[in-house]
């Protein structure tokens, strides 16, 4: 709240300007792309130092690194979906639910997302009714729902009969394109063998989420000492270690990774994070990193 309609680029620039204005004596902002990040030995010893290099050959060394590298959403290859992502193609009831309440809405449940769909459909059934969308369409982009095999292929077998009872309208024809109609303030969805429908918004989940393409080259098992989570997220510390939680619902309570001195914030470690969580996680990661630094320095001064 408070930033409705604000241009994200302008907002980011203001934050950066203020960082330099108010904290310039301790904070440096460097623009550029980090192309490698690894732990290095200093004088032949691993002292927990990281080295990052940017694409121009610039080098930064640090004892603590916070990875706030975001993610990349891989969207269904339906013409128009990428253009409308974040506008009339939405993925989150909390980010967009109230704006689309009481209006026609469509949910895409197609084959590539079958595993995720069974979870999303359950949430749809208990989160969205209060929004009283009318009508509510379920689109399968070519998956036939008349057979159990088809319902399984779309990940809808568990709740199909509930959706039928609740009056969802099913359209199984392949989707040929989606396009915003500005004069009617709606999203038109075109099908191979079904008349076009107009909705206020369409819920689409990415088919895959991977690390940001800018960070994928170094967010590897080599650096993290563990594989990435199924949604491309930086893995939590091993079970049993302080504060570790599910990769999906991590909310910054544990900003550590499997590697000492390496922290995460935002979507890089939590697919559930939004802007508010990401900001808060950044603070938690910074405090935890500062705490580690302080403890190490104190220990050093005692020796």
Q: What residues make contact with ligand FAD under the rule CB under 6 A?
A: 33-34, 68-70, 73, 85-86, 91, 95, 212, 214-215, 266-268, 273-276, 278
Cβ of residue 108: shortest distance to ligand FAD, in angstroms? 14
Residue among 117 and 278 whose Cβ is closer to ligand FAD? 278
Task: For residue 39, list its beta bridge partners.
Answer: 50
Cβ of residue 86: shortest distance to ligand FAD, in angstroms? 3
The Cβ of residue 244 has, within 10 Å, a number of other Cβ atoms equal to 17
**Which strands, in side-by-side order, build the sheet including 175-181?**
175-181, 186-191, 197-199
- Measured over the CA atoms of residue 168, residue 173, residue 177 and residue 183, the dihedral's sign is negative
Q: Which of 240, 242, 267 is nearest to 253 (CA)?
A: 242
- Measured over the CA atoms of residue 76, residue 78, residue 79 and residue 81, the dihedral's sign is negative
d(CA 152, CA 131): 27
Residue among 113 and 278 whose Cβ is closer to ligand FAD? 278
Cβ of residue 51: shortest distance to ligand FAD, in angstroms? 14
Residue among 150 and 261 whose Cβ is closer to ligand FAD? 261
Residue among 96 and 136 whose Cβ is closer to ligand FAD? 96
Residue among 141 and 278 whose Cβ is closer to ligand FAD? 278
Residue among 33 and 169 whose Cβ is closer to ligand FAD? 33
Residue 54 has which token pair? 């940017």
Q: Where are the alpha helices (DSSP H) in the chain?
A: 8-23, 81-84, 93-96, 114-127, 148-153, 160-165, 221-224, 275-302
Cβ of residue 45: shortest distance to ligand FAD, in angstroms? 27
Cβ of residue 95: shortest distance to ligand FAD, in angstroms? 4
Cβ of residue 215: shortest distance to ligand FAD, in angstroms? 4
């Amino acid at each position: 709240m408070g930033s409705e309609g604000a241009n994200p680029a302008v907002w980011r620039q203001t934050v950066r300007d203020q960082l330099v204005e108010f904290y310039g004596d301790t904070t440096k902002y460097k623009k550029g792309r980090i192309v490698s990040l690894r732990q290095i030995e200093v004088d032949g010893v691993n002292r927990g130092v990281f080295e990052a290099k940017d694409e121009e050959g610039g080098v930064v060394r640090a004892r603590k690194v916070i990875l706030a590298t975001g993610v990349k959403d891989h969207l269904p290859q339906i013409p128009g979906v990428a253009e409308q992502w974040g506008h009339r193609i939405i993925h989150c009831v909390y980010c967009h639910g109230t704006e689309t309440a009481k209006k026609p809405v469509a949910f895409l449940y197609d084959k590539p997302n079958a595993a995720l769909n069974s979870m999303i459909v359950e949430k749809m059934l208990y989160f969205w009714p209060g929004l009283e969308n009318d009508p509510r369409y379920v689109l399968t982009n070519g998956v036939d729902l008349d057979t159990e095999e088809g319902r399984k292929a779309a990940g809808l077998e568990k709740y199909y009969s509930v959706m039928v009872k609740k009056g969802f309208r099913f359209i199984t024809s392949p989707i040929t394109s989606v396009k915003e109609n500005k004069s009617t303030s709606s999203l038109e969805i075109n099908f191979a063998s079904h008349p076009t429908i107009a909705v206020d918004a369409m819920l689409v989940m990415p088919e895959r989420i991977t690390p940001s393409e800018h960070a994928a080259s170094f967010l590897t098992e080599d650096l993290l000492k563990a594989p990435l989570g199924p949604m491309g997220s930086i893995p939590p510390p091993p079970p049993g270690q302080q504060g570790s939680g599910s990769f999906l619902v991590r909310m910054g309570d544990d900003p550590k990774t499997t590697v000492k001195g390496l922290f995460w914030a935002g979507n890089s470690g939590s697919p559930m994070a939004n802007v508010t969580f990401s900001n808060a996680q950044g603070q938690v990661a910074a405090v935890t990193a500062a705490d580690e630094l302080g403890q190490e320095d104190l220990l050093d001064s005692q020796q």
